[in-house]
Chains A and B, each alone.
Chain A
Amino acid sequence: MILQLTVAVPVLVAALLATAGRWLPRLAVDVAAVLAVAAVAALAALTLTRAPHHAQVSWLGGWGPATDVGIPLVADPFAAGLALITALLTLAALLFSWRFFTEIQAIFHTLMLLFLAAMVAYVYTGDLFDAFVFFELMSVVAFALTGYRSEEPSTVHGALNFGIIQSIGAYLTLAGIALVYARTGQLGLATAGRALAGTGGGHGDALVTAAFVLICTGYLVKASAVPFHFWLADAHAVAPTPVCVLFSGIMVPLGVYGIARTYWATFAGLVPLRAIAVLGAAAALLGAVMCVLQHHIKRLLAYSTISHVGLLLVGVAAHGPGALAGTAYYLAGHAGVKGALFLAAGALLNRHETVDEHELRGRGRGMPVTGATFLLGALGLAGLPPSGLFAGHAVTEHAAEELGWWWFTPLAVVASALTAGAVLRVWLGVFRGTPAEEDPARDGRDHGGQDHREGGHEDPETRPTLRTLPWTMVTPGLALLIAALLAGLIPGGPVGAAAAMFTDRDGYAGLVLDGRVPHPHSTPADPWTASGVAGFLVTVLLAALIAVYAVRRRASERTGGEGVLARAAAAAAGRLHALHSGHIGDYAAWLTAGVAVLALLTARF
C-alpha cells in the first residue's frame, strides 16, 4: 500500500492543483505542493528503512504473480533510496522556487508533482512495459518543464531538440521491450529474466542482444552517454533553474538506473556491458572538456553532469556489487552537489539577471553563502572526503582494480579535475575577481562577437526585487550541499548488502514473485582507502592548476599575447563547439551512429 501511495499522492495533488489552482492564492498552491512532496519523502524514507528486512512488493489491482499478467511495484533498498533522493531534490527545488519566480501559475507545481510521481514510479516498477510508460511520462513532463518559459526563442528550441531525441530513444526502447516479449511472453523484469535464463544456455543469441541494445538506447539517451548527449546541454541551459536541479540531480542518473536494473533483473550474464563502459568513458572525457570551454554557468554545470554520469555508467559496466555500491555513493553525492550548484547559479541569476561568467566577474562579492556553495561544490566534485563522490570514487576504484581496469582511476581523476577546475574558475572569477566594468565593449570582442549575447542576458524568469536573498533561496542549497558532503559517512555495510541484493537476479525474482527478501553474501563497502584520499589530493591539485591557468590565460588574452599552442587549442575548441550545433538532424544522425556502435560492441562474433 505504501508504494502505491508514494506514486498516487503527488498525482492526486497535481490533479487538484491543475483544476483548482487558478482560484487558489499562490501561498496555498505552494504549501499544498510542498506538503505533498514532503509526504512522498516520508513514505520513501519509511520504505527505505523496511526494505532490507521485509519485502516491499505490491501487485497492482490484486493481480498477483499466479495470474501471469500482474504488474508489480518493487522497492529494494536502492530503489527506495533513489525515490528518497528524488523527493528531497524536488522539495529543495520547490522551496527555492517559492520566492525565485515572481510570477508563476499552479501549472508549474502540477508539472513538478507529476515529474516526481513519474520518476518514483519508474524507480519502483517491476515491469518492462510500465517502465517504458513511466519513462515517457517523465520525459513528456520534462519537455513541458524545459519549455516552460515558452516566450523565449532558445527555450522552445532547446525543449524541441530534447523532445525529439528523447522520444526516438524511447521508441527504440519500446521496440527492444517488444522483442523481449516476443521471446519470453513475459513483461515482468523478474519473470522475463527467469525465462531468458532458462533458454539462453549462458549466452544470449542475436535476438537477446538486439533487445538489450534497443532497450539501452533509450536509457543511454536519458543518461546522456556520448554520442546521445547533445540534448542535455541545450535543455539545461534553457530550463528554469529549479528544474535543472531535478534534471541533473536525478533524471539523468535514472537512465543509468534503468540500464542497471534491466541488466541485473533480466539480462544478467547474457550480454556483455563493455559498450556501456566505452560510451560512458567517452561521455566522462568529452563532458569534462566541454565543461571547461563554457562560460554560461548553467551550460557549464550541464556538461559537468554529462561527465559525472559517464563515470556512473562506467561504474555500472564494471559489473559487480562492489562497483555498484561505489556508484550508489557517487550518485547520492553528485545529486546533492549538483543540486546545490544549480541553486547557487539560480541565486546569481536572481541578483544579476545573467549566468554568464564574464559578465558576472567580481559581482558575487556581496554573496558569501553563494560563493561558499561554489567553492565547496567544486571541492565536492573533486571528491572532498567524506562526500558521497569521495566514497563512490574510492569504492568503485577498488572494484575496478580487481577487474584489471587500470584506466578507471586516471579517467576519474581527469574528468573530476576538469569539471571541478571549471567550477573553481567560476568561483575565482565571480566571487574573488575584480569587476571588469571599465571596458564593457571588450567582452563582445573576446568571445565571438554578436553570438556572445545569446548566452548573456536571460529574460527574467526571476526579478531582482528582493533586497537580500530570502532563507527559502539559501537553505535548500545549503542543506543539499551538507547532505552531499556527508553522504560518504553512510555505513558501508548496508550499502554493500543493498548492492549485493541488486546484482542478484535470482534474489530479485524471489523478492518479486515469492516475497522472500534475499540475503546474498556481501562485503561491506569501505570508502576509507589510502588510494582514495590520494586520488582526491591529486584531483584537487589538478583542479586548482586548471582554474588558476584559466584565469591567468584570460588575463593574458587581454594583453593580446597568443602562442601557436593557444591558437591550436582555440581551433579545437571551435570544432567541438561546432559539433554541438543545435541542429536536430545532426543529433538524430549521431543517435543512429551511437546505436550502431552499441550493437557492434555488444554483439559476440
Chain B
Amino acid sequence: MSHLPYLAAGWIVIAGLYGVVTSRDLIHAVVCLSVTQSGTYVLLLAIGYRYGATAPVFSDRPPHGRPVTDPVVQAMTLTDIVVGATVTALLLALAVQVAKRRGTIDPDELRSLES
C-alpha cells in the first residue's frame, strides 16, 4: 500500500481547515468543515484497503475466494457520514438564522460576543 492515500487524506483535512480560517461566508465555512471531514473518510477507507481484494460481501462469496477489504472501517465511514450529515444540517440551519437576524453571513462583519 503506498503512502499516497494518507497524504491525500491529510491534504484534504488541511485544505478544509484553510477554508474555515479564511472564510468570508458562513455557508462556505460549514461546507469547508464537511471537506475536513471528507479527509477522515479517505483516511478510514485507505486503512482498510488491500490490493487485489474484493468488497466485503459474504453472501455469494466462494469459501476460498479472493481476500476482502476490511468491513469495519467501511462501517465506521458510514457512521461518520451520518454524523456529518447531522452536523452539517444543524450548522446550515444556524447559518440561515444568522443571516436572518444579523443580515450578513460574513464573519468579518459579525460583532464580537465579548462585551
Q: Determine if A164 and B29 form an interchain contact, defined as CB atoms under 8 angstroms apart.
A: yes
Q: Determine if A295 and B113 form an interchain contact, defined as CB atoms under 8 angstroms apart.
A: no
Q: Determine if A582 and B33 form an interchain contact, defined as CB atoms under 8 angstroms apart.
A: no
Q: Determine if A181 and B47 form an interchain contact, defined as CB atoms under 8 angstroms apart.
A: yes
> What mask results when residues 29 to 64 of chain B are scored 1 for a CB within 8 Å of chain A, else 0?
110010011011001100100000000000000000
> What mask results when residues 234 to 247 of chain A are scored 1 for a CB within 8 Å of chain B, else 0?
10011000000000
Find chain B residues with CB under 8 A from A486 CB: none
Find chain B residues with CB under 8 A from A295 CB: 115
Q: Determine if B111 and A129 form an interchain contact, defined as CB atoms under 8 angstroms apart.
A: no
Within 8 Å by CB of A157, from B23, B76, B90, B102, lies: B102
Q: Determine if A178 and B98 form an interchain contact, defined as CB atoms under 8 angstroms apart.
A: no
Find chain B residues with CB under 8 A from A163 CB: 87, 90-91, 94
Chain B residue nearest to A158 (CB atoms) is B113
**Separation of A187 and B98 alpha carbons in the complex (Å):** 39
**Separation of A237 and B17 alpha carbons in the complex (Å):** 26
Q: Does residue B2 face the partner (Cβ distance < 8 Å to A)? A: no
**Separation of A452 and B97 alpha carbons in the complex (Å):** 23
> What mask results when residues 149 to 177 of chain A are scored 1 for a CB within 8 Å of chain B, else 0?
01111101111110110011001101100
Q: Determine if B43 and A178 form an interchain contact, defined as CB atoms under 8 angstroms apart.
A: yes
Known contacts being A577-B114, A583-B107, A584-B29, is A160 close to B21, with CB within 8 Å? no
Within 8 Å by CB of B33, from A164, A299, A452, A589, lies: A164
Chain A residue nearest to B76 (CB atoms) is A129
Find chain B residues with CB under 8 A from A156 CB: 94, 97-98, 101
Q: Determine if A455 and B115 form an interchain contact, defined as CB atoms under 8 angstroms apart.
A: yes
Find chain A residues with CB under 8 A from B101 CB: 151-153, 156
Q: Does residue B7 face the partner (Cβ distance < 8 Å to A)? A: no
CB distance from B112 to the nearest CB of A (A): 4
**Separation of A151 and B9 alpha carbons in the complex (Å):** 38
**Separation of A152 and B100 alpha carbons in the complex (Å):** 10
Find chain B residues with CB under 8 A from A452 CB: 115
Q: Determine if B110 and A168 form an interchain contact, defined as CB atoms under 8 angstroms apart.
A: no
Q: Determine if B113 and A588 form an interchain contact, defined as CB atoms under 8 angstroms apart.
A: no
Q: Does residue A603 face the partner (Cβ distance < 8 Å to B)? A: no
Interface segment among A43-51, A139-147, A253-261, A387-395: the answer is: A139-147
Q: Determine if B94 and A178 form an interchain contact, defined as CB atoms under 8 angstroms apart.
A: no
Q: Determine if A168 and B17 form an interchain contact, defined as CB atoms under 8 angstroms apart.
A: yes
Known contacts being A160-B26, A175-B13, is A454 close to B111, with CB within 8 Å? yes
Q: Does residue A69 face the partner (Cβ distance < 8 Å to B)? A: yes
> What mask results when residues 328 to 346 of chain A are scored 1 for a CB within 8 Å of chain B, else 0?
0000000000000000000
Within 8 Å by CB of A178, from B26, B73, B110, lies: B73
**Separation of A138 and B15 alpha carbons in the complex (Å):** 27
Find chain A residues with CB under 8 A from B86 CB: 136, 140
Q: Does residue A551 face the partner (Cβ distance < 8 Å to B)? A: no
Q: Determine if A171 and B115 form an interchain contact, defined as CB atoms under 8 angstroms apart.
A: no
Q: How many A-B residue pairs have CB under 8 A?
A: 139
CB contacts under 8 Å to A, within B65-115, are: 72-73, 76, 79-80, 83, 86-87, 90-91, 94-95, 97-98, 101-102, 107-108, 110-115
CB distance from B106 to the nearest CB of A (A): 10
**Separation of A248 and B113 alpha carbons in the complex (Å):** 18
**Separation of A244 and B51 alpha carbons in the complex (Å):** 51
Q: Determine if A454 and B80 form an interchain contact, defined as CB atoms under 8 angstroms apart.
A: no
Chain B residue nearest to A137 (CB atoms) is B83
Q: Determine if B91 and A143 form an interchain contact, defined as CB atoms under 8 angstroms apart.
A: yes
Within 8 Å by CB of A584, from B13, B20, B40, B79, lies: B20
Find chain B residues with CB under 8 A from A583 CB: 107-108, 110, 112
Find chain A residues with CB under 8 A from B87 CB: 136, 139-140, 143, 163, 167
**Separation of A153 and B9 alpha carbons in the complex (Å):** 36
CB distance from B24 to the nearest CB of A (A): 9
Within 8 Å by CB of A133, from B83, B111, B112, B113, lies: B83
CB distance from B55 to the nearest CB of A (A): 18
Find chain B residues with CB under 8 A from A202 CB: none
Q: Determine if B107 and A585 form an interchain contact, defined as CB atoms under 8 angstroms apart.
A: yes
**Separation of A452 and B115 alpha carbons in the complex (Å):** 6
Q: Determine if B21 and A588 form an interchain contact, defined as CB atoms under 8 angstroms apart.
A: yes
Find chain B residues with CB under 8 A from A299 CB: 114-115
Q: Does residue A522 face the partner (Cβ distance < 8 Å to B)? A: no
Q: Determine if B44 and A584 form an interchain contact, defined as CB atoms under 8 angstroms apart.
A: no
Find chain B residues with CB under 8 A from A438 CB: none
Q: Determine if B76 and A167 form an interchain contact, defined as CB atoms under 8 angstroms apart.
A: no
Find chain B residues with CB under 8 A from A129 CB: 76, 79
Q: Determine if A164 and B30 form an interchain contact, defined as CB atoms under 8 angstroms apart.
A: yes
**Separation of A143 and B88 alpha carbons in the complex (Å):** 12
Chain B residue nearest to A595 (CB atoms) is B17
Within 8 Å by CB of B23, from A133, A233, A580, A585, lies: A585
Q: Does residue A581 face the partner (Cβ distance < 8 Å to B)? A: yes
Find chain B residues with CB under 8 A from A147 CB: 94, 97
Q: Determine if B115 and A178 form an interchain contact, defined as CB atoms under 8 angstroms apart.
A: no
Find chain A residues with CB under 8 A from B79 CB: 129, 133
Q: Determine if B113 and A238 form an interchain contact, defined as CB atoms under 8 angstroms apart.
A: yes
CB distance from A1 to the nearest CB of B (A): 25
Find chain A residues with CB under 8 A from B112 CB: 577-578, 580-583
Known contacts being A147-B97, A160-B91, is A178 close to B111, with CB within 8 Å? no
**Separation of A187 and B87 alpha carbons in the complex (Å):** 23
CB distance from B44 to the nearest CB of A (A): 5
CB contacts under 8 Å to B, within A429-456, are: 447, 451-452, 454-455
Within 8 Å by CB of B113, from A144, A150, A175, A234, lies: A234
> What mask results when residues 190 to 220 of chain A are scored 1 for a CB within 8 Å of chain B, else 0?
0000000000000000000000000000000
Find chain A residues with CB under 8 A from B95 CB: 160
Q: Determine if A157 and B39 form an interchain contact, defined as CB atoms under 8 angstroms apart.
A: no
Q: For the A-B complex with A299-B115, A577-B112 known, give 20 more contacts whose Cβ atoms are closer than 8 Å.
A: A147-B97, A150-B94, A150-B97, A153-B101, A153-B102, A157-B98, A158-B113, A160-B95, A164-B20, A171-B13, A171-B39, A174-B40, A181-B76, A182-B47, A233-B114, A454-B111, A455-B115, A580-B113, A585-B21, A585-B107
What are 9 contact pairs spanning A and B, CB under 8 A?
A: A174-B40, A296-B115, A454-B111, A577-B114, A582-B110, A584-B26, A584-B107, A585-B22, A585-B107
A-B complex: 8 closest residue pairs judged by Cβ atoms:
A455-B115, A153-B101, A156-B97, A582-B112, A588-B20, A182-B47, A582-B113, A160-B94
